Each structure stands twice: as structure tokens, then as C-alpha cells.
Structure 1
Amino acid sequence: MDRLKDKVAIVTGSTSGIGIGIAHLFAAEGAKVVICGRREARGQEVVDSIVKEGGEASYHFMDITDTESIEKLFADTAEKYGKIDILVNNAANVALKDGRVDELTLEMWDAIFQSDMRGTFYATQCVLPYLQKNENGGSIINIGSMASCAGDLGSTAYACAKAGVDMLTQYTALQYGKQNIRCNCVRPGLIVTPQNEAHVPQALKDIFTSNIMVNRYGCPEDIGHMCVYLASDESSYFTGQVVTVDGGLNAHVSTVAQFKALSSRTW
């Protein structure tokens, strides 16, 4: 359990959901993990739980829409630990019901892009000087979304912002790869967390599980395990990739579930 031994990792938006799952697995693999978000009490709870499990973690306030707090996060982390090896850009405004094109206001569009696209870009820009100081560079992992895979009935701004994250991943990987800085993107499918489970109706779960190739929807650890690989030296030849971790949801044509219901082999 030392795949990330002696590495310093920042996981944004790690006071809930997927971020907590990533942080716990990073700590279990030997990383010093910086938990960050706007909710100090919840962040400290995550830190305490990691320490109880034998890991090392600390909390730092960060608001993904506030550039000064992003700058301070990296400066303070480097001062505390002497370096930064890994950044997971997980913080985002998950507005899955933001609306159709004709329903969105410019204010709604701008708010979602500010957190999901602008915040991810600025955190990436801020961490680069610290990774460039490392002999072995480092790893940037962006958390995207399956919403960017294809069109849908809603979540227009969210999907467009996450599509931007996909492209930012490739540009970052291309421009800094020769400095041993890798950048990859993980696109989660339906991930049910302790924080959101009460808000995920059974009807939605049924729709997803009828289209997922395995017999369950996802959990934070499913994304965390992929992130551990991308953060570790095992993935030193892996960069510029957008990886969808969705139980196979997007690996088949859109009519599969309906044909299954008809017991038809045409699928």
C-alpha cells in the first residue's frame, strides 16, 4: 500500500462525495493529502477519518471561484510539505439540471463555467510552477463527466463546461509532457455517494442500471482507484487521455436497454 509513498497530493472539493473517496485511497497508498473545500468542519472530519486509518492529511480552505484562495492553497501546501506532486481537479458545481439552451440565462451559464471550467483551468495554471520544480514532474488529474460524451435533454452548461475540461486535459498534457508533467481526465458515470444518495431517485438508478454493463452503479472508490493509478509512477507512459469510468454505460449503442427489455438479440 505504498504506490503514492512520499507524494504530496491536493484533492480539490474533497469535503464530500467523490473527493472523499479519492483522498482516502491516496492516503492509504502513502500520500500526504491536502483536503480542501469551503466547509471547514466537513473537511476536518475527512482529515480525522484519514488520520484514524493511519494516513496523513490536512485541511485547507479553498473556494474554486476565488482565485486568491486557489493561489494560497498551493503556496501554503508547498511551504508546509516542501513540494507538490499531484493535483486532482475535482471541485465543481454539479448542476445536472441546469436546463435547455432556451432556458439558460447568461448568469447561469457563467456561474457554471466559472466553477467547472475557469476554476479547473486556474488551479492547473497555478500548480504548474510547483510541478516544474520536481525532477520527476507530477500528475494532474481532472475529474470530468460522462455528460460531455453526448447530447442530453438538459445539463447544457454543465456538459459544455466538462467538454472544455476534456480538451484542457489534452492541451496540458501536450504542452508540459516533456517536463514530465502528465495530465489525464477521468469521466465518472453515475456515482452514488453518502452525500447524494438521498437525492438520487430509484427511477434514475433503474434507468442507469438497465444501461450499465455491470450489475451496479458506481461509488467514489471506483473513481478513486483510477485516480491512484493516474497519480502513481505506474502510469508514467499514460497522458493526455480521457478515461470514462461508468460501468460500460457509454460503450454500447443507445437502444441496448430497450432491446434487452424485449428479450431481443438484435442488440
Structure 2
Amino acid sequence: MNRLENKVAIVTGSTSGIGIGIARLYAAEGAQVVVCGRRAEKGQAVVDRITAEGGKASFHVMDITDTASIEKLVEDTAEAYGHIDILVNNAANVALKDGRVDELTIEMWDAIFQSDMRGTFYVTKCVLPHMRKDARGGSIINIGSMASCGGDLGSTAYASAKAGVDMLTKSVALQYGKDNVRCNCIRPGLIVTPENDAHVPQALKDIFLSNIMVNRYGCPEDIGHACVYFGSDESAYVSGQIITVDGGMNSHAPTVAQFRSMGSRTW
């Protein structure tokens, strides 16, 4: 415990799913966690749960598509705590419709990139000056997706945006490493959360599970544990890395043929 003691961490998109898992583990390890998202009621519930568990957290409203709200989040956090040690870029709008190249409209493409690529870029841009001026530096952790590991029958814009997050990770690590700012990326595999569990058909879950190299689906805490490592001083010599936390699914041949036979485009 206390691997993140005295560190201030912003976790975007932490009012649901993976973000909650990251925020709770960060607080359990001693960080002051800034929970943020669009839904104040849900965000305050996360803060209340963290404080009930003995952790330290506060809520700040933020819309990943609204640059003004991103700027205010970063400014208010720096003013309240004096420094920002960790940024976890978790917020993304996975509910947006996606599809094949011929099916996507330019509006659909732009909406997904605005949420999943531009938002990650802009929060990083706003946080960098605070980390660079502090001798402590900082750690930026981008939440990507295993969708960027290979082509898919659908989710074209989403996968492309997440591939962009991979390269943004390497660029930030290269450009600001000498300022003591590290940047790494975590690609989640199939993570079952209270929000998505009912929306993933059992047949597709079975296909995933048969190709996962361990005996279960992922959970938010699996991503949270990786985030703790990248946020802690234990990973001080690790930067520019992309790790896929997927139970080993992408360590072998893909499952496209199985999905195609079902007339499905994954979930």
C-alpha cells in the first residue's frame, strides 16, 4: 500500500467502468484522486465510496469534448493541490456508432476522433506545463484499446483513433522525457463492467473467452493495477511503452473468421 502516497492524480472518465476501478485503486495506494466526468451525481458517488474506504478524492466536472472544461479541470487541480503528478487519459465515448469504411459518415468519424483522440491530446497538452515545471515531473498514462492491435470487421474509426493514442504516447515520451515526464499506454482487452455486461451477447463473450489465455474476462481492477504501476516510482525507468492487458488474447491468431461466420462484427 501507499505506492502513490502524496501524489495527485487526475483520472478522466472516472464516473463509470474502468475509470472507477482505476480511481479506487489509486486512492487505496495513497493518491489524492481527482474524479472527473460529465455526470456530477455519479462522480460524487465515486468520491463518497472512495472516502468511505479511507481514501482521498474530489470530483470535478469535465466533458472530454469541451476544451474549456478540460482547461478548468487542470487549472483548478493545480491550484487546489499545487502540483499534478499523474494523468490517466481514460475518458472516451465508446457508445458512439461505428462501422465499415463505406458505412461511416464524416460526422461519425469526427465525433469519435474528437472524443477518443483529440480529447486525450488536449488533456495531455494542458497538463504538460505543470509537470514540466515541477522537479517531480509526472506520469501520463493513456488508456488505448486492443482494437488498435489489428484490423476488424467494424469499429473502424474507434480503432483508428486508438491507434493514434498509441503513437501520441510515444511522441509524448520522446518529447518530454528529459523534463522528467513519462508517458505509457495500456490497451485493455475485453473488460466486463456493470455498464457493459448486459450489452455484450453471450455468444460473443464465449468467443472471447475461448481465445483469452486465462480463465476469465478482464475487470476494471486489472487495468487499475497496471495504472498503479505506471503511476508509481516503480516504473521510473519505463516510458514510451504500450502494454496490452487482455489475458493474452492478442498473443495468438485473431478471431475474425469466427465472428465472420456468425455474421457479427464483434461487440
One fold, TM greater than 0.5?
A: yes
Q: CA deviation at 1:57?
A: 0.2
CA contact 1:95–1:158 (8 Å) conserved in 2 = no
The SS at the match of 2:65 is coil
Work out the CA distance in 2 between the residues paired with 1:90 and 1:151: 22
Q: CA deviation at 1:96?
A: 7.4
1:230 aligns with 2:223: no
Q: CA deviation at 1:136?
A: 2.0
Partner letter of residue 171 of structure 1? S
Work out the CA distance in 2 between the residues paired with 1:179 and 1:160: 29
Q: CA deviation at 1:181?
A: 0.2
The SS at the match of 2:250 is coil
- CA deviations 1:189-222 (Å, max 9, x no partner) are 0000112111122111101000000000100000
Give the aligned CA root-mean-square deviation in angstroms: 1.4
Work out the CA distance in 1 between the residues paired with 2:134 and 2:247: 35
CA contact 1:189–1:249 (8 Å) conserved in 2 = yes
Give the TM-score, by structure 1 length: 0.94
Aligned to 2:159: 159
CA contact 2:97–2:108 (8 Å) conserved in 1 = no
Aligned to 1:261: none
Partner letter of residue 121 of structure 1? F
Aligned to 1:143: 143
Q: CA deviation at 1:132?
A: 1.0
Aligned to 1:101: 101
Give percent identity, aligned residues only.
79
Partner letter of residue 126 of structure 1? C
Work out the CA distance in 2 between the residues paired with 1:194 and 1:46: 14
The SS at the match of 2:217 is coil
1:190 aligns with 2:190: yes
Aligned to 1:116: 116
Work out the CA distance in 2 between the residues paired with 1:38 and 1:235: 31
Work out the CA distance in 2 between the residues paired with 1:254 and 1:104: 24
CA contact 2:71–2:126 (8 Å) conserved in 1 = yes
Q: CA deviation at 1:95?
A: 4.3
CA contact 1:96–1:155 (8 Å) conserved in 2 = no
Partner letter of residue 49 of structure 1? R
Aligned to 1:41: 41
Which structure 2 residue ranges, 5 or more long, are not aligned?
259-267
The SS at the match of 1:250 is helix
Give the TM-score, by structure 2 length: 0.94
The SS at the match of 1:98 is coil
CA contact 2:63–2:70 (8 Å) conserved in 1 = yes
Work out the CA distance in 1 between the residues paired with 2:95 and 2:102: 16
Aligned to 1:79: 79
Closer/same/farther in 2, CA of residues 80 and 69 from structure 1, 3 Å limit: same
Q: Which runs of 4+ in 1 moved over 4 A?
A: none
Q: CA deviation at 1:40?
A: 0.2
Work out the CA distance in 2 between the residues paired with 1:217 and 1:204: 12
The SS at the match of 2:249 is coil
The SS at the match of 2:122 is helix
Aligned to 1:2: 2
CA contact 1:116–1:162 (8 Å) conserved in 2 = yes
Partner letter of residue 183 of structure 1? C
CA contact 1:96–1:154 (8 Å) conserved in 2 = no
Aligned to 2:205: 205
